[in-house]
Homo-oligomer: A and B are copies of this chain.
Amino acid sequence: MTHINTDNCNKSGKLHGEGCKSCIKEHRNNIFSPLSQEEIDFLIDKKRQIVYNVGETITKQNTASTSVICINEGLAKFYVESANGKNVIVRIAKAGDFISGGGLFNGNFQHFSVSAITKVKCCMIDSANLTSIFGKNNEFAIKLLRNHTKQNNFLLKKLVDHTQKYMPGRVADTLLYLKNEIFNSNEFSVPLTRQELAEMSNMTKESFVRILHQFKDSKYINTKGNTISILDESSLVSISENG
Protein backbone atom coordinates (compact mmCIF):
# COMPACT_ATOMS: atom_id res chain seq x y z
CA MET A 1 0.00 0.00 0.00
CA THR A 2 2.78 2.37 0.91
CA HIS A 3 4.78 3.65 -2.03
CA ILE A 4 8.36 4.37 -1.26
CA ASN A 5 9.99 6.67 -3.74
CA THR A 6 13.48 5.34 -3.71
CA ASP A 7 14.87 8.00 -5.97
CA ASN A 8 17.47 9.81 -4.05
CA CYS A 9 16.20 13.29 -4.07
CA ASN A 10 19.31 15.10 -5.19
CA LYS A 11 17.91 14.74 -8.62
CA SER A 12 14.35 15.52 -9.58
CA GLY A 13 12.01 12.96 -8.10
CA LYS A 14 9.27 11.28 -10.06
CA LEU A 15 6.52 12.95 -8.14
CA HIS A 16 5.42 16.30 -9.43
CA GLY A 17 8.57 16.59 -11.44
CA GLU A 18 10.25 18.29 -8.52
CA GLY A 19 12.86 16.98 -6.15
CA CYS A 20 12.68 16.77 -2.40
CA LYS A 21 15.11 19.61 -2.06
CA SER A 22 12.39 21.96 -3.06
CA CYS A 23 10.01 20.30 -0.62
CA ILE A 24 12.30 21.37 2.15
CA LYS A 25 12.88 24.86 0.88
CA GLU A 26 9.53 25.94 -0.42
CA HIS A 27 7.28 25.94 2.59
CA ARG A 28 6.83 29.19 4.42
CA ASN A 29 7.56 29.16 8.18
CA ASN A 30 9.93 26.46 7.29
CA ILE A 31 12.02 25.02 10.03
CA PHE A 32 14.77 24.30 7.50
CA SER A 33 15.22 27.91 6.43
CA PRO A 34 18.43 28.45 8.44
CA LEU A 35 20.17 25.56 6.68
CA SER A 36 22.88 26.04 4.09
CA GLN A 37 22.72 24.20 0.78
CA GLU A 38 25.33 21.73 2.02
CA GLU A 39 23.33 21.01 5.14
CA ILE A 40 20.17 20.51 3.15
CA ASP A 41 22.02 18.17 0.82
CA PHE A 42 23.25 16.26 3.83
CA LEU A 43 19.72 15.72 5.14
CA ILE A 44 18.32 15.08 1.68
CA ASP A 45 20.86 12.39 0.89
CA LYS A 46 19.66 10.32 3.78
CA LYS A 47 15.98 10.71 3.35
CA ARG A 48 13.18 9.12 1.39
CA GLN A 49 9.96 10.62 0.19
CA ILE A 50 6.99 8.41 0.90
CA VAL A 51 3.43 8.51 -0.39
CA TYR A 52 0.54 7.44 1.82
CA ASN A 53 -3.01 6.88 0.66
CA VAL A 54 -6.11 7.95 2.54
CA GLY A 55 -6.46 6.08 5.82
CA GLU A 56 -2.91 4.77 5.98
CA THR A 57 -0.95 5.03 9.19
CA ILE A 58 2.18 7.16 8.96
CA THR A 59 3.28 6.81 12.56
CA LYS A 60 1.82 4.44 15.11
CA GLN A 61 1.61 5.19 18.81
CA ASN A 62 3.81 2.99 21.02
CA THR A 63 6.12 1.92 18.19
CA ALA A 64 9.77 2.87 18.10
CA SER A 65 10.90 5.59 15.75
CA THR A 66 14.02 7.60 15.14
CA SER A 67 12.59 9.72 12.37
CA VAL A 68 10.91 13.06 12.21
CA ILE A 69 8.25 13.63 9.58
CA CYS A 70 8.10 16.57 7.24
CA ILE A 71 4.77 16.80 5.42
CA ASN A 72 5.27 17.76 1.81
CA GLU A 73 1.73 17.56 0.50
CA GLY A 74 -1.69 16.59 1.84
CA LEU A 75 -3.31 16.43 5.27
CA ALA A 76 -2.78 14.06 8.16
CA LYS A 77 -4.41 13.69 11.55
CA PHE A 78 -2.20 13.75 14.64
CA TYR A 79 -4.02 11.82 17.34
CA VAL A 80 -3.68 9.93 20.58
CA GLU A 81 -5.30 6.56 21.08
CA SER A 82 -6.58 6.19 24.60
CA ALA A 83 -7.10 3.02 26.60
CA ASN A 84 -10.88 2.99 26.23
CA GLY A 85 -10.69 3.21 22.45
CA LYS A 86 -11.72 6.85 22.23
CA ASN A 87 -9.27 8.76 20.12
CA VAL A 88 -8.30 12.37 20.64
CA ILE A 89 -7.35 14.19 17.46
CA VAL A 90 -4.91 16.84 18.58
CA ARG A 91 -4.28 18.63 15.34
CA ILE A 92 -4.25 18.37 11.55
CA ALA A 93 -0.81 18.41 9.95
CA LYS A 94 -0.47 20.06 6.57
CA ALA A 95 2.17 20.79 3.96
CA GLY A 96 5.25 22.34 5.53
CA ASP A 97 4.49 20.92 8.97
CA PHE A 98 7.10 19.19 10.94
CA ILE A 99 6.22 16.36 13.31
CA SER A 100 8.77 15.32 15.84
CA GLY A 101 8.39 14.06 19.34
CA GLY A 102 9.53 10.52 19.00
CA GLY A 103 12.89 9.28 17.91
CA LEU A 104 16.09 10.57 19.36
CA PHE A 105 14.62 13.38 21.39
CA ASN A 106 12.31 11.08 23.19
CA GLY A 107 14.53 8.07 23.49
CA ASN A 108 12.18 5.30 22.70
CA PHE A 109 8.67 5.37 21.33
CA GLN A 110 5.99 7.53 19.80
CA HIS A 111 3.35 8.93 22.11
CA PHE A 112 0.89 9.56 19.30
CA SER A 113 -0.24 8.29 15.92
CA VAL A 114 -0.38 10.08 12.59
CA SER A 115 -2.47 8.94 9.65
CA ALA A 116 -3.31 10.30 6.22
CA ILE A 117 -6.73 11.90 5.72
CA THR A 118 -5.88 12.81 2.13
CA LYS A 119 -3.08 11.46 -0.02
CA VAL A 120 0.07 12.51 1.78
CA LYS A 121 3.61 12.93 0.53
CA CYS A 122 6.13 13.27 3.28
CA CYS A 123 9.79 12.96 4.09
CA MET A 124 11.20 10.88 6.91
CA ILE A 125 14.40 12.37 8.25
CA ASP A 126 16.55 10.58 10.77
CA SER A 127 16.67 12.60 13.94
CA ALA A 128 20.34 11.80 14.50
CA ASN A 129 21.14 13.56 11.23
CA LEU A 130 19.10 16.54 12.29
CA THR A 131 20.84 16.91 15.62
CA SER A 132 24.29 16.46 14.11
CA ILE A 133 23.72 19.78 12.36
CA PHE A 134 23.18 21.67 15.61
CA GLY A 135 26.88 22.13 16.20
CA LYS A 136 27.39 23.85 12.86
CA ASN A 137 24.17 25.80 12.80
CA ASN A 138 22.64 26.89 16.04
CA GLU A 139 19.92 28.91 14.33
CA PHE A 140 18.55 25.57 13.24
CA ALA A 141 18.54 24.24 16.80
CA ILE A 142 16.73 27.38 17.91
CA LYS A 143 14.15 26.91 15.16
CA LEU A 144 13.52 23.39 16.33
CA LEU A 145 13.19 24.50 19.94
CA ARG A 146 10.82 27.24 18.90
CA ASN A 147 8.77 24.66 17.04
CA HIS A 148 8.56 22.50 20.14
CA THR A 149 7.67 25.46 22.33
CA LYS A 150 4.90 26.40 19.94
CA GLN A 151 3.53 22.88 20.09
CA ASN A 152 3.78 23.01 23.87
CA ASN A 153 1.78 26.21 24.10
CA PHE A 154 -0.73 24.79 21.67
CA LEU A 155 -1.25 21.75 23.89
CA LEU A 156 -1.49 23.92 26.98
CA LYS A 157 -4.27 25.93 25.36
CA LYS A 158 -6.03 22.82 24.15
CA LEU A 159 -5.88 21.29 27.63
CA VAL A 160 -7.65 24.31 29.06
CA ASP A 161 -10.13 24.64 26.19
CA HIS A 162 -11.11 20.99 26.29
CA THR A 163 -11.57 20.90 30.04
CA GLN A 164 -13.22 24.29 30.59
CA LYS A 165 -15.39 25.10 27.61
CA TYR A 166 -18.89 23.83 26.93
CA MET A 167 -19.60 21.94 23.74
CA PRO A 168 -20.65 24.90 21.57
CA GLY A 169 -17.35 26.62 22.41
CA ARG A 170 -15.39 23.54 21.43
CA VAL A 171 -17.27 23.09 18.16
CA ALA A 172 -16.68 26.75 17.35
CA ASP A 173 -12.98 26.22 18.08
CA THR A 174 -12.82 23.28 15.71
CA LEU A 175 -14.57 25.18 12.92
CA LEU A 176 -12.37 28.24 13.34
CA TYR A 177 -9.27 26.04 13.46
CA LEU A 178 -10.22 24.42 10.16
CA LYS A 179 -10.99 27.76 8.56
CA ASN A 180 -7.96 29.70 9.78
CA GLU A 181 -5.23 27.12 10.23
CA ILE A 182 -5.96 24.47 7.63
CA PHE A 183 -8.05 25.65 4.70
CA ASN A 184 -7.69 29.44 4.86
CA SER A 185 -11.12 29.81 3.36
CA ASN A 186 -14.69 30.43 4.51
CA GLU A 187 -15.88 27.40 2.60
CA PHE A 188 -14.09 24.10 2.68
CA SER A 189 -14.70 20.42 2.14
CA VAL A 190 -13.48 18.50 5.17
CA PRO A 191 -11.93 15.09 4.57
CA LEU A 192 -13.03 14.05 8.07
CA THR A 193 -16.07 12.13 9.27
CA ARG A 194 -18.39 13.58 11.92
CA GLN A 195 -16.84 11.05 14.27
CA GLU A 196 -13.41 12.54 13.62
CA LEU A 197 -14.64 16.11 13.92
CA ALA A 198 -16.11 15.06 17.28
CA GLU A 199 -12.74 13.58 18.27
CA MET A 200 -11.18 16.96 17.55
CA SER A 201 -13.80 18.61 19.73
CA ASN A 202 -13.78 16.16 22.63
CA MET A 203 -17.37 14.97 22.42
CA THR A 204 -19.50 12.22 20.87
CA LYS A 205 -20.44 12.36 17.20
CA GLU A 206 -24.10 12.75 18.19
CA SER A 207 -23.32 15.84 20.24
CA PHE A 208 -21.19 17.29 17.46
CA VAL A 209 -23.97 16.84 14.92
CA ARG A 210 -26.49 18.48 17.24
CA ILE A 211 -24.33 21.55 17.84
CA LEU A 212 -23.55 21.81 14.14
CA HIS A 213 -27.28 21.76 13.45
CA GLN A 214 -27.84 24.53 15.99
CA PHE A 215 -25.14 26.64 14.32
CA LYS A 216 -26.82 26.06 10.97
CA ASP A 217 -30.23 27.07 12.37
CA SER A 218 -28.63 30.22 13.76
CA LYS A 219 -27.13 30.99 10.32
CA TYR A 220 -23.60 30.96 11.72
CA ILE A 221 -22.62 28.29 9.21
CA ASN A 222 -23.99 26.30 6.33
CA THR A 223 -23.33 22.62 5.73
CA LYS A 224 -23.84 20.34 2.78
CA GLY A 225 -22.35 16.90 3.29
CA ASN A 226 -18.71 17.41 4.07
CA THR A 227 -18.69 21.00 2.87
CA ILE A 228 -18.85 23.59 5.60
CA SER A 229 -19.25 27.33 5.04
CA ILE A 230 -18.54 29.87 7.73
CA LEU A 231 -21.21 32.57 7.40
CA ASP A 232 -20.79 34.50 10.64
CA GLU A 233 -17.29 34.17 11.98
CA SER A 234 -17.64 36.83 14.64
CA SER A 235 -20.49 34.91 16.27
CA LEU A 236 -18.38 31.78 16.31
CA VAL A 237 -15.49 33.71 17.84
CA SER A 238 -17.82 35.01 20.49
CA ILE A 239 -19.12 31.51 21.25
CA SER A 240 -15.55 30.25 21.39
CA GLU A 241 -14.52 32.97 23.83
CA ASN A 242 -17.58 32.90 26.03
CA GLY A 243 -17.00 29.22 26.71
Q: Which residues of A contact B (CB under 8 A)?
A: 80, 82-84, 86, 88, 90, 100-101, 104-107, 111-112, 131-132, 134-138, 141-142, 144-146, 148-153, 155-160, 162-164, 202, 241, 243
Assuming the A-B contacts A131-B142, A162-B162, are A80 and B152 also in contact, with contact meaning beta carbons closer than 8 angstroms in the complex?
no
Given contacts A164-B84, A164-B88, A202-B163, contact A156 B111 (CB under 8 A): yes
Give min CB distance, A207 to chain B, whole Å. 13
Q: Which residues of B contact A144 (CB under 8 A)?
A: 145
Interface of A is mostly: helix
Closest chain B CB from A71 CB (angstroms): 18
The residue in chain B whose Cβ has the minimal distance to the Cβ of A103 is B149
Residue contact A243 to B131, C-beta cutoff 8 Å: no
| Given A141-B138, A156-B112: A100 and B131 interface contact (C-beta under 8 Å) | no
Total copies of the chain: 2
Contact B243 A149 (CB under 8 A): no
- Pick the contact of A157: B84, B107, B111, B135 (CB < 8 A): B111
Please state if A142 and B105 are interface contacts (CB–CB under 8 Å).
yes
Residue numbers in B under 8 Å from A111 (CB-CB):
152-153, 156-157
B164 touches A163 (CB 8 A): no
Q: Nearest-CB distance from A163 to chain B (Å)?
A: 5
Contact, CB under 8 Å: A241 / B83 = yes
CB within 8 A of A88: which of B137, B141, B160, B202?
B160
Contacts of A86 in B (CB 8 A): 164
Q: What residues of B have a CB within 8 angstroms of the CB of A105 in the complex?
A: 142, 145-146, 148-149
25 of the cross-chain contacts (CB-CB < 8 Å) are A83-B164, A86-B164, A88-B159, A88-B164, A100-B149, A105-B142, A105-B146, A106-B146, A106-B149, A106-B150, A106-B153, A111-B153, A111-B156, A132-B138, A134-B135, A134-B141, A135-B135, A135-B136, A135-B137, A135-B138, A145-B145, A148-B149, A152-B152, A158-B159, A159-B162
In the complex, A140 Cα to B29 Cα: how many Å?
A: 25
Q: How far is the CB of A64 from chain B (nearest CB, A)?
A: 14
How far is the CB of A69 from the nearest CB of chain B, in Å?
A: 14
Give the chain B neighbours of A151 by CB distance below 8 A.
Answer: 152
Complex contacts, A160 vs chain B, CB 8 Å: 80, 82, 88
Docked Cα-Cα span, A153 to B149, in Å, equals 12
Give Cα distance in the complex from A200 to B6, angstroms.
Answer: 49
